[in-house]
Homo-oligomer: A and B are copies of this chain.
Amino acid sequence: MIDLQFLEKLYNNDRRTVARSISIVESNNSTSAELLKEIYSKTGNAYRIGITGPPGSGKSTITNQITKLYRSQNKKIGIIAVDPTSPFTGGALLGDRVRMSEIGSDANVFIRSMATRGSLGGLSKKAIDAADVLDAAGYDIIILETVGVGQSELDIAQAADTTAVVLVPESGDAVQAMKAGLMEIADFFVVNKSDRPGSDQAVAALRTILYMRDHDANSWMPNIIKSVASENKGIEEIAAEIARHKNYLNEHALFQKKREEHTKSRIKVIVEEKLREELWSGDGGKALHTSLEKIIYGGLSPYHIAEEIIIKFKNI
Chain A residues engaging chain B, CB cutoff 8 angstroms: 33, 36-37, 40-41, 53-54, 84-90, 115-121, 148-152, 154, 171-173, 175-177, 179-182, 260, 263-264, 266-268, 270-272, 274-276, 278-280, 284, 288, 291-292, 295, 299-307, 309-310, 313-314, 316
Contact = CB atoms under 8 A, between A and B. Distances in A.
Given A179-B118, A264-B291, A267-B288, A310 B275 contact: yes
A302 B177 contact: no
The 4 A-B pairs at the shortest CB distance, nearest first, are namely A87-B180, A40-B301, A270-B306, A118-B181
Contacts of A116: 180-181
Q: Is the interface of A mostly helix, strand, loop or mixed?
A: helix
15 contacts: A36-B303, A37-B303, A86-B180, A90-B175, A118-B181, A120-B151, A120-B181, A149-B150, A263-B292, A264-B288, A267-B288, A267-B305, A272-B276, A278-B310, A314-B316
A41 B300 CA distance: 8
A272 B266 CA distance: 17
A303 B84 contact: no
Contacts of A275: 275, 279, 310, 313
B292 A84 contact: no
A271 B279 contact: yes
Contacts of A306: 267, 270-271, 274
